[in-house]
Structure 1
Amino acid sequence: MERESMEFDVVIVGAGPAGLATACRLMQISQDSGQELSVCVVEKGSEVGAHILSGAVFEPKVLDELFSDWKDTGAPLHTAVTHDELHMLNSPSAARAMPNALIPKTMHNDGNYIISVGNLARWLAERAEALGVEIFPGFPASELLFNDDNSVKGILIGDMGVGADGQPKDSYEPGMELHAKYTVFSEGCRGHLGKQLIEKYHLDNGKTPQHYGLGFKEIWKVPSEQHQQGKVVHTGGWPLTEGASGGGFLYHLEDNQVAVGLIIDLNYQNPHLSPFDEFQRYKTHPVISQYLKDGERLSYGARAITKGGLNSLPKMSFPGGLIIGCDAGTLNFAKIKGTHTAMKSGILAAETICHALHAGVEGGKDLDCYQEKFEQSWLQEELHTSRNFGPAMHKFGAYLGGAFNYIDQNWFGGKFPITLRDEKHDYAQMAEVSAYSKIDYPKPDGKLSFDKLSSVYLSNTFHEEDQLCHLRLKDERIPIDVNLVKFDEPAQRYCPAGVYEIVEEAGEKKFMINGQNCIHCKTCDIKDPSQNITWVSPEGGGGPNYPNM
C-alpha cells in the first residue's frame, strides 16, 4: 500500500540515553559547524522514559563530555554515592561482608550517583528538543526499509488500530515511512530491529554469542531510621544456586526511597527456576529485609540486560546506519553499569555521521569509520579491561570467579594475558526437567514478597485488548509438543509478568499468551529453549509506564 513518508537527515529509533545522546551531539556539531540538520527520534513508549528500567548507579564522566554545565541545568543527579558494601549471601539467613580491599575496583563507586535512568532520559529529551530535535513518543518502529542497494533507507512506524484478527478496526491509521540518510538503532536490550540487522548483515561474525541477564527492580519507601542516603549494597550468592548465577543490589535514593533488585543470568540450567520468585525470596534475606521491613512498595518492573561485553559486541555499523548502546551490547558488566557506555556510543555515532555528511558520503555507505572512533575512545578501553568478568563468573562460580576478577582488575588493571570466552547460547543451557527437582517457592507474604499480577499492576502496564498479539510463535505446536514435554514449558516461569500459561480446554492442554500483561522485558525472545518466540513492537504507547525507574 502507498504510505505517507517524511524525510530526515538522521532517524533515531529509541529515546533512551544512547539515542538521546546521539541526537544531542548531532545538533551540537550541526550548530557549531553552521550546518542545517534534521534529526528525528521515535519512541515506542507513551512518553520518553516510560519503558526505561535500570538500577542504577551512574558514572557522570560522559555528561561532562556532552553537557559540561549539567550540574547547573537541572540534571537529575541528586544522590551521590557515599559508600559501598558487598555481601556474599551463603544461605537464607547467613552472609559474609567482603572487605573493601578485596572487592574488584570496577565495583567501587566513588564519584558516582544513584539515579533514575528514566528521569535522566526525560532530561536529555528536554535538552535535545531545545537543540531542535523532533521527538515522537508513542510511535514504534515496526519494520526496516531498504534501498535498492540493500542499504537501510529508514523505518516504518507501525499501523494503529489493527484488531487481534489482523483486520483494520474503525480506528485504523496506517503507519508512516520515515526515510533518512542514516538511521541509528538504540532500542535497548534485544531490540527487535537490531536483532534483524545483526542477522541480515552478519554483524556478529567471529564473536562469541551474546549473553543476557534478567533484571528485577522495585522502589520502596522505607522508615527514615532504615534509610542511609547514598549507600550502595551489592550481593552475590543466595538465592541463586544449583546452576544459576547473578547478583543483587539495594540503593538508597533520596526521600527515604530505596531501589532493590536482582539480576539473574539467563544461562541458568534448571527449567523449574522462576526468576520472579527468586527475586521475592531475595528480599527476605536479613541483609536486604532490614531496610525494607515496614516499608511500602511503590513500583515494580523487569527488563533483560545485554551483558556479553566486548567479546560479544557485534560490528556496530552497516550500510545506512549504526546500532548502538544496549541494542549492540555496550554495557560494562564488571561495573554493573551501561548508561554511561551507551551514551558514549551515541556520542561516537553522532561524530561519525556528521563527518560522513560533511564529507558528502552517501547514506548508503557503510560507516566503517565508526569502528576506528570506537577503538580510539575510552569506551573500547573500558570494555576491553572488563572482557573477562562475565565469563569468569560463569566458568568458575561466584567465589573463584570473584577471586579471578579481583586479580584481573586490581592486580593487572584488566590486562590479564588471557581472554576467557563464553561460547554457548543462553537458551541452549537449559536442562530437561528430569535433571532437576522442582523448586518449592514459599507463598508471598504481602509484606516483602508478592505475586506476579499485583506486581504487574504497579508497572502501570497497558495494551489495547483488541490488537494483534506482539508475541509471535514460529510454530504453534512447539510449546505443547516440545517445551512442555522436555522442559515443563519454562515460559510459565521465566516470564516476570505472567504472560504465558498452560491451560486445559476440552481435555487438551493449550498454550495461552496474555499479551496485555507484557512489560517488554524480552526474556521470552532470549530464553525460550526452542527459540520459537519472537517479540515485535506492539501498537504505540503500549507496555509499562514507569514513572521514575
Structure 2
Amino acid sequence: MEREVMTFDVLIVGAGPAGLASACRLKQLDPELNICVVEKGSEVGAHILSGAVIDPKALTELFPDWKERGAPLTLATERDEVVLLKDSQSSIKIPHWMAPKSMHNQGNYIASLANLTRWLGEQAEALGVEIFPSFSAADVLYDENMQVKGILTGDMGVGRDNMPKDNFMPGMELHAPFTLFAEGCRGHLGKELIRQFKLDQGKDPQHYGIGLKELWDIDPAKHQPGLVIHGSGWPLQGDTSGGFFLYHAENNQVAVGLIIDLNYSNPWLSPFDEFQQLKHHPLIAQYLEGGNRVSYGARAITKGGYNSLPKMNFPGGMLIGCDAGTLDFSRIKGAHTAMKSGMIAAEAVHHALKNNETDASTFEARYTQSWLYSELYKARNFGPALHKLGRWLGGAFNTLDQGLFNGKLPFTLHDLQEDHASLHRSSESKPITYPKPDGKLSFDKLSSVFLSNTNHEEDQPCHLQLSKEEIPLTVNIPLYDEPAQRYCPAGVYEVIDDDAGKKLQINAQNCLHCKTCDIKDPCQNIQWVPPEGGGGPNYPNM
C-alpha cells in the first residue's frame, strides 16, 4: 500500500507530560525545529490519569513564569496525613516525623494532571509545535541499518474482519531523524524497542502497579482544601501490597484512589473491588457520604524505578517518561520526573542534530548529572523493600532509609521476579468474596466505566490480541479461573459458560487503556495494541 509520508526534525509519540515538556524544550532551544506530536486520545489530556499531587520543580525549569501563564496549579498542599488502616473500622495515624521524607508534600500542588497536560499542549502549540490528536502510533519504522526512522500511524476505517470499510483511510509514515517515545506506562512500541535494542540488559525486571481513581463532589462542610492523606493496610491482605490516597482538591472535590502492586499472588483478587471496599472504611467514608461520584478511571503505573530503568537512547530515538519508567514510587509522583526526562532528552537530541549525530549519546551524562538521577537513585530500595520484606518490615526499612540515611545506604535491594510470574494457582489460593456495591459509596464496573466517557468504534479489529487463542481454555481458566475477569478494572474480560463449555469473551469496547492485562496475564498471552485513533476514555478533570 502506498502511504503518504511526512518528514519532521523531531517526532514525539504521546502528548503527555514527558512528550510535551520535550517538545517545548526543543522549541526553546531552536524555534526553527519542525516538531510533530501524535496523540492517540481524542484530545490532549483525554487519556491522562493521575492522583495527583504535583511537584512543580520541572515545570519551574521549563516555564519559570508558569503562574503568570495561568498553569492550573493553584491549590498548594496544606497538611499531610499518613495513616495505617488496621481493619475495616480502625486506623492509626502515623506521626509526621515517623513518615518517610518522601511522603512529605510541602511545596507541592493538588491538581488535575489531565488539565496540566492540556495547558502544556497550549504552550507547545504557541511555540509552534504541531500536535495531532486521534492519531495512534501503530508501528516503529526502521531504515536499512535498523535505525529508527519514524512511525506508521494506524489505519482508520478498518472493520472487525480486517477489511477496509467505506471510510477507510490508510495510516501515514511519519519520518524524523529522532523519534521520542512517550507513550506512558507499558507502551506497546516501547516494549518492542526495549527488545530490539536490548535496552534492559543487566537491569531488574520492570515492576508495575494498578491505580484506580474516582473524583467526588462532597459536602462543603467536610471539605478541607489542601489536605493530603496517604495510607496502606486494609482491605489489602497477605502479600498484596499497595496504598490509598485521598486529596482535597478545589471546588469541594476530593480525589480518592487505591494503588495495588501487580506482584500479588492471589488470582481471586480484584483490584476494582478492593477499591470499592476501601471507600467504606470510616476514615474515607466520613468525607464521601452524602457526596456525588463524578468520574472514574484506572491506569497501570511503571514503578520499578532506578533498578529497572532501561537504557533510554538508541539509534534514531529515545524512550522518555513512563515509557521508560521514570516515576519515583517512593513519592508516588511521576509528572515532574517524566517532564524532566523529556527535557533532558530534548537537550541531548538538540545536541545530536547540531552535530549531525544519529544517536543522542550525550543523554546518559546529562541524566546522571541531573536531580532526576539523584532522586531516582535515592529511592532505589523503596519498592524492593516492600516486595521482599513485606508491609511492616519494608515500611520500617524505608522510614530508616529515606529519613535517616536519605536513600544513601551502601547497598541496593533487588526484586528479580516479574509481576506476572507471581500468580499462584486458584486451587492453592484463598477465594475472596466481595460485598455487593451499595450504589452510594461502592459501585459496579459498568456504571464506573460509563463515568470514564470510554468509547471505541465497535466495528474494528480487537485491540486486545491473544498470541495463542487456546491459552485461556487450556491454562488460564483451569489453573487460575481466568484472572483477567478480576484484574481488569473495566469488565473487558468475561468468562462465558455455554453448551460448548467455558470460553473467554473480550468486551474491548469497555477498555480504559490501563494495560494491566498486558502486564499481569500469567502466560503473557495478551498484547495490548492501540485501537483506532481517538478511542478510549475521555477524562475531563482527572
Same-fold call, TM > 0.5? yes
Aligned pair partner of 1:219 in 209, 215, 221: 215
* 1:357-402 CA-partner distances (Å, limit 9, x unpaired): 11122xxx22221111100100000000000001111111222111
- 1:20 aligned residue: 20
Cα separation, 2, equivalents of 1:366 and 1:11: 14
Q: 1:492 matched to which residue of 2? A: 485
Partner of 1:150: 146
2:233 pairs with one of 237, 250, 264: 237
Q: Quick one: which amino acid aligns to residue 60 of structure 1?
A: P
Secondary structure of 1:525's partner?
helix
> What's the TM-score once normalised by structure 2's chain length?
0.99
Question: Equivalent of 2:131, from 120, 131, 135?
Answer: 135
Which residue of the other structure, out of 169, 172, 178, is the alignment partner of 1:173? 169
Indicate whether 1:460 and 2:456 are aligned. Answer: no
Q: Unpaired segments of 5 or more residues in structure 2?
A: none
Paired letter, 2:39? E
Q: Deviations over 1:439-468 (max 9, x none)?
A: 110000000000000000000000011001
Residues 328-337 or 430-439, more deviating: 430-439
Kindly report which structure 2 residues correspond to 1:315-464, keeping only aligned pairs within 5 A, or say none.
Answer: 315-361=311-357, 365-464=358-457
Contact 2:239/2:390 (8 A) holds in 1: no
Q: Secondary structure at the match of 1:54?
A: coil
Equivalences, count: 542
**Could you tell me how far apart the structure 2 residues matched to 1:252 and 1:316 are?**
36
The residue number in structure 1 matching 2:295 is 299
Shift of residue 30, structure 1, vs aligned partner: 0.3
Q: Does 1:503 align with 2:503?
A: no
Q: For 2:331 and 2:431, how far apart are their aligned partners in 1?
A: 33
Q: Distance in 2 between matches of 1:174 and 1:506?
A: 41
Query: 2-side partners of 1:510 and 1:312: how far apart?
Result: 36
Aligned to 1:476: 469
The gaps in structure 1 that reach 5 residues or longer are none
Work out which of the residue numbers 304, 308, 312 in structure 2 matches 1:308.
304
- List per-residue Cα deviations over 1:86-144 (Å, max 9, x = no partner): 00011011110000010000110000000111000100000000000000000000011
Please tell me the residue identity of whatever aligns with 2:490: A
Aligned with 1:71: secondary structure?
coil
Aligned-residue identity in percent: 65
The one of 180, 184, 194 equivalent to 2:190 is 194
Give the corresponding residue for 1:524. Answer: 517
Q: Which residue among 81, 91, 95 is the counterpart of 1:95?
A: 91
SS of aligned partner of 1:239: coil
Q: 2: CA distance between counterparts of 1:264 and 1:366? A: 37
Q: Which letter does structure 1 place at the counterpart of 2:62?
A: L
- State how far apart, in whole Å, the 1-side matches of 2:86 and 2:470 are: 42
Q: Which moved more, 1:373-382 or 1:234-243?
A: 234-243
State whether residues 465 and 529 of structure 2, in contact with CA within 8 Å, keep that contact through their aligned partners in structure 1. Answer: yes
Deviation readout 1:409-456 (Å, 9 max, x if unpaired): 111111011200000000000000122121110000000000000000
Cα distance in 1 for partners of 2:72, 2:267 equals 40
Q: Give the counterpart letter for 2:449 in structure 1.
A: V
1:199 Cα offset (Å): 0.7
> What root-mean-square deviation, in Å, do the aligned CA atoms of Structure 1 and Structure 2 show?
0.7
Q: How far did 1:504 drift?
A: 2.2
Q: Secondary structure at the match of 2:64?
A: coil
CA drift of 1:507 comes to 3.3
Choose which of 31, 50, 53 in structure 2 pairs with 1:54.
50
Mean Cα displacement is larger for which, 431-440 or 380-389? Answer: 431-440
SS at match of 1:70: coil
1:326 aligned counterpart, secondary structure: helix
Q: How does 1:2-81 map to 2 (within 5 A)?
A: 2-31=2-31, 36-81=32-77
3-state SS of the aligned residue for 2:202?
coil
> For 1:531, what is the secondary structure of its paired residue?
coil
> Per the alignment, in what secondary structure is the counterpart of residue 177 of structure 2?
strand
Partner of 1:85: 81
Letter in 2 for 1:470: H
CA distance in 1, matches of 2:51, 2:473: 36
Aligned mates of 1:131, 1:422 — CA distance in 2: 43
SS of match in other structure, 2:205: coil
Range that drifts further, 479-488 or 394-403:
394-403
Question: Which one-letter code corresponds to 1:125 in the other structure?
Answer: G
Mapped partners of 2:158, 2:307: distance in 1: 41
Which of 506, 511, 519 aligns to 1:513? It is 506
Q: Verify the 8 A CA contact 2:352 2:359 in the aligned structure 1.
A: no
- The TM-score, its normalising length taken from structure 1, stands at 0.98
* Mapped partners of 1:83, 1:510: distance in 2: 50
